[in-house]
Amino acid sequence: MADTPAPARSAGPGASRPAASARSGGPEAAAPRAGGQRRHASRPTMKDVAARAGVGLKTVSRVVNEEAGVSTDTERRVQEAITALGFRRNDSARVLRKGSTASVGLILEDLADPFYAPLSRAVEEVARAHGALLINGSSAEDPARERELALALCARRVDGLVIVPASEDHRYLAPEIAAGIATVFVDRPPGHIKADMVLSESFDGARSGVAHLIAHGHRRIGFIGDQPRIHTARERLRGYRAAMAEAGLPVADSWVALGGTEPDRVRADAARMLEGQGGGEPVTAFFSGNNRVTVTLVRVLAAPERRGRAALVGFDDFELADLLSPPVTVVAQNPADLGRSAAQLLFRRLAGADDEPRTVCRPTRLIARGSGEIPPPR
Amino acid sequence: MADTPAPARSAGPGASRPAASARSGGPEAAAPRAGGQRRHASRPTMKDVAARAGVGLKTVSRVVNEEAGVSTDTERRVQEAITALGFRRNDSARVLRKGSTASVGLILEDLADPFYAPLSRAVEEVARAHGALLINGSSAEDPARERELALALCARRVDGLVIVPASEDHRYLAPEIAAGIATVFVDRPPGHIKADMVLSESFDGARSGVAHLIAHGHRRIGFIGDQPRIHTARERLRGYRAAMAEAGLPVADSWVALGGTEPDRVRADAARMLEGQGGGEPVTAFFSGNNRVTVTLVRVLAAPERRGRAALVGFDDFELADLLSPPVTVVAQNPADLGRSAAQLLFRRLAGADDEPRTVCRPTRLIARGSGEIPPPR
DNA sequence: CTGAAAGCGCTAACAA
DNA sequence: TTGTTAGCGCTTTCAG
């Protein structure tokens, strides 16, 4: 990350900025500054506005908060002072007094992952509908980072938290929840703590996806999934095993690979399974545990020498899946819906609901497009 | 399991907060609550911790902030009280006193857009490296919403702001910037205000992309871009016109369509251009203004009856572009790099730089993959 | 090494 | 309709 912004073509000439407005009556406050932006200029407060408008502090507060009971004339004078001074209410002070921040936090694995981005956006929309701001952070699948982020958000007194767990133990949140920070888990369940959660039916989804491959004649199916400490990875593997067992098919150890979603790892495991290394016979189909894995498998299977040689069903839908050749059959979740549901559960708590923690399960949907219907060779 | 505090009906609404002094010697930590999460439970303060540990307030502050000059024994006692009470520092109060929030805001069009998601993630990483939190909001390309978000963030006293403009006039930010909120614009320039900005070379990129099509024999090329009020849309159109003009090619009005990125709009415009409706002759190639448009065009051109009938070069790279048939030729930007550069510029200001506003331009890269090298019919 | 007192800028509760 | 007085929970200052 050492790359500094390039040698910049400078923008034009002297950006003279008008001097900051005067502070209560005094001389034109802030000293002139360079074209750049100055830091830490002092900001006018309600007190300054009050002085300038010749009214009391509380009157300014009333105007700023649009409370009733201010004469139109007074209001106008206050508004003028606000504009002249460039006043903006300091919400930190307000929060300190009122106790609520009108903001919620969201912690997930990676904001840039195409699965999580819509989830995040959905949470944002619900928050916005409730007049709250969203603060979000990426845990990068690191439990320590999740914890650090969550506690930082708690220190900022967000009203609530939506978390896609990276950690397996959320007892660290107990005091926070006890102190009133509503918390909802999404995509994966929390560890050692009870709270609302929204999950997709990973087990059922994976089972139906694998059953689909079996129905198309496959008997040797590889499973490539995410790290085993991730709940959804385990559940999907469980679904895979269930489908195989239900069909009376054995599962060779070498057909199952859980690990990071780095393309190299996935590629290596896939190659191994296709060659039949590690004990079992070569697989004729893959079930992949999430969209990152699927995308890499698509690349593996697109290589000329492997073209159409193995079937593929992936967990998670993804953009353009239908335009690949073959188009990719998937078990689709609805990430935006997950986010929306989680946020709704959160705001329900914030509205005062204090019944037992709920678990919402969202169904998955098998979308057959082609890659999952390729028959086994011979 | 130290789970959720035992089931028991909550203290109920209006559970009045005990006087601080009364709390100190009181019962162990938090009161029992219902299975659900209770709202607005009172949180212990430093004062409570001090009382419990039998030390002064400032000593607790020292421990919490890891300041030097506290005996190990005192520190231990304070830590115990902190744990027992479930204390967490209230950052609102801290901010009020210190003036800085260690947080920055990011406003962009849509967090879920595959172009902006990595940009956001990059800003987050830089912020994190500087110990700051990221608060972000989607403007949904609505100027009013951008403004509302930006001002809300200012009220929260973020240290700085990174903005992908939706608005064309940013004078509303002048008082904020004057008051010390560093601001950097990215992807598009600000309106009527001077500030740091990071842009991709839209004009050059589009020109080279269109020139590429011309070099492959095309003379009738359609341009489908984003709304004309978006700076990059205009710049890319300008690049298109420049390339055409440089090749001595005329541009029929019907070959240019700017508008929203909704698939229906794009599809309709594309169909019109392919049929030669609206005056000009049918186009043999498309240049698309951004990744949303490109994806729709890919769909249009993937229809059996149009298979390979028109060439395509798109602005912005996107995942799997290389696996489509034909693979899609693009003018690639680097969104993560844009975000990183913008954030670096921001933290440079926060570190005190107050020189002239800078403009950083990032180059684009033409990636030929196939769709842009299809020759015109005949 | 430790603590008491004075605010940070705002809102709540009361006067006037 | 308006203003005054207390804090919110923390950090700063300065004195023990």
pLDDT tens, position by position, A187-197: 999 999 999 99
Among all residues of chain B, which has the CA nearest to that of A149? B133
Six-digit token string for A351: 């509205």
Task: With a cut of 80, say whether residue B22 has pLDDT above it.
Answer: no
pLDDT at B51: 93
Which residues 57-116 on A are within 7 A of strand C at the CB atom?
Answer: 57-58, 61, 64-65, 87, 89-90, 93-94, 96-98
pLDDT tens, position by position, B288-344: 999 999 999 999 999 988 887 899 999 999 999 999 999 999 999 999 999 999 999
Average pLDDT across chain B, whole number: 88
At the top level of CATH, which class does the domain A101-200+336-362 belong to?
Answer: alpha beta
Q: Which of B9, B45, B92 to mutate to test the interface with A (most CBs of A within 10 A)?
A: B92
Q: Please give the nucleotide, over all strands, whose C1' is closest to the CA of residue B57.
A: C3
> How far is the C-alpha of B264 from the C-alpha of B124, rounded, in Å?
34
The mean pLDDT value for A107-132 works out to 95
Residue percentage of chain A with pLDDT more than 70:
89
Q: Which of B39, B104, B149 to mutate to test the interface with A (most CBs of A within 10 A)?
A: B39
- CA A51 → CA A25, A28, A63, A77, B160, distances in Å? 8, 15, 14, 11, 29
* A359 beta carbon to strand D: under 7 Å: no
> How far is the C-alpha of A143 from the C-alpha of A140, rounded, in Å?
9
The mean pLDDT value for B139-143 works out to 94
Do the chains contact at B135 and A138, CB–CB below 8 Å? no
Residue percentage of chain B with pLDDT more than 90:
81
Residues 6+ apart with CB under 8 A from A9: B359, B360, B361
The mean pLDDT value for B230-237 works out to 97
pLDDT at B41: 57
Confidence of residue B17 (pLDDT cuts 50, 70, 90): very low
Task: With a cut of 90, say whether residue B136 has pLDDT above it.
Answer: no
Closest Cβ–Cβ partner in B95, B134, B362 for A137? B134
* B36 beta carbon to strand C: under 7 Å: no
The mean pLDDT value for A292-303 works out to 96
Longest distance between any two alpha carbons in chain A, whole Å: 91
| Cβ neighbours of B152 in A, within 8 Å | 133
pLDDT at A68: 87
* B156 beta carbon to strand D: under 7 Å: no
Instruction: Please state which of the ranges B131-145, B199-213, B252-266 shows the lowest mean pLDDT.
Output: B131-145
Closest Cβ–Cβ partner in B2, B137, B182 for A37? B182
Which residues 192-221 on A are within 7 A of strand D at the CB atom?
Answer: none
> How far is the C-alpha of A342 from the C-alpha of A123, rounded, in Å?
7
Task: Tell me the torsion sign for CA atoms B118, B121, B127, B130.
Answer: negative
User: DSSP strand E in B83-148: where?
Assistant: 103-108, 133-138
Six-digit token string for B42: 């009172």
Task: With a cut of 70, say whether residue B9 has pLDDT above it.
Answer: no
DSSP 3-state assignment of A308?
Answer: coil
pLDDT tens, position by position, A244-283: 999 999 999 999 999 999 999 999 999 999 998 877 899 9
pLDDT at A3: 34
Q: What angle do CA A184, A186, A188 make, to 5 degrees?
A: 120
The mean pLDDT value for B232-246 works out to 98
> How far is the C-alpha of B350 from the C-alpha of B369, rounded, in Å?
42
pLDDT at A41: 57
Task: With a cut of 60, say whether residue A24 has pLDDT above it.
Answer: no
pLDDT at A100: 86
The mean pLDDT value for A363-374 works out to 98
Task: With a cut of 70, say whether residue B262 has pLDDT above it.
Answer: yes
At the top level of CATH, which class does the domain B34-89 belong to?
Answer: mainly alpha
The residues of chain B that CATH labels 1.10.260.40 are: 34-89
pLDDT at A223: 98
Task: With a cut of 70, say whether residue B95 has pLDDT above it.
Answer: yes
Q: Are A50 and B193 in contact (CB under 8 A)?
A: no
> How far is the C-alpha of B87 from the C-alpha of B59, rounded, in Å?
15
Q: Rg of chain A's alpha carbons, rounded to an integer?
A: 28
Residue percentage of chain A with pLDDT more than 90:
81
CATH superfamily entry for domain B202-334+365-373? Response regulator (3.40.50.2300)
CA atom of B94 to C1′ atom of D9, Å: 8
Confidence of residue B30 (pLDDT cuts 50, 70, 90): very low
DSSP 3-state assignment of B28?
Answer: coil
Q: Are A346 and A160 in contact (CB under 8 A)?
A: yes
* B55 beta carbon to strand C: under 7 Å: yes
Do the chains contact at B2 and A355, CB–CB below 8 Å? no
Percent helix, strand and coil across chain A, each to the nearest 5: 40, 15, 45
Which residues 62-81 on B are within 7 A of strand C at the CB atom?
Answer: 62, 68-71, 73-75
The mean pLDDT value for A135-164 works out to 94
Q: What does the buried/exposed string (b/e) look like for B150-181 if buried means 16 or more CB atoms within 10 Å of the residue's CB?
A: bbbbbebbbbbbbbbbbbeebebbbbbbbbbb
pLDDT tens, position by position, A161-217: 999 999 999 999 999 999 999 999 999 999 999 999 999 999 999 999 999 999 999
Closest Cβ–Cβ partner in B37, B155, B352 for A88? B155
Choice between A1 and B214, residue whose per-residue pLDDT is larger: B214
Q: Which helix (H) or strand (E) holds A136?
A: strand A133-138
Amino acid at B326: P
Confidence of residue B109 (pLDDT cuts 50, 70, 90): very high
pLDDT at A14: 28
Confidence of residue B100 (pLDDT cuts 50, 70, 90): confident
pLDDT at A22: 32
Average pLDDT across chain A, whole number: 88
CA atom of A64 to C1′ atom of C9, Å: 13
CA distance B253 to chain A (A): 31
Torsion angles phi and psi, residue B198, rounded to 5: -125, 120
Residues 6+ apart with CB under 8 A from B94: none
Do the chains contact at A41 and B179, CB–CB below 8 Å? yes
Pairing mode of beta strands A182-186, B182-186: unpaired
Q: Please give the nucleotide, over all strands, whose C1' is closest to the CA of residue B64.
A: D10
Which residues 212-271 on A are within 7 A of strand C at the CB atom?
Answer: none
Direct distance between the N- and C-terminal alpha carbons of chain B, in angstroms, rounded to an integer: 75
Do the chains contact at A354 and B33, CB–CB below 8 Å? yes
* B90 beta carbon to strand D: under 7 Å: yes
The residues of chain B that CATH labels 3.40.50.2300 are: 101-200+336-362, 202-334+365-373
| Cβ neighbours of A354 in B, within 8 Å | 10, 33-39
The 8-class DSSP code of residue A19 comes to P
CA atom of A93 to C1′ atom of C14, Å: 21
Task: Tell me the torsion sign for CA atoms B19, B22, B23, B28.
Answer: negative
DSSP string, B267-336: HHHHHHHHHTTTSSPPPSEEEESSHHHHHHHHHHHHSGGGTTSSEEEEES--TTGGGSSSPPEEEE--HH
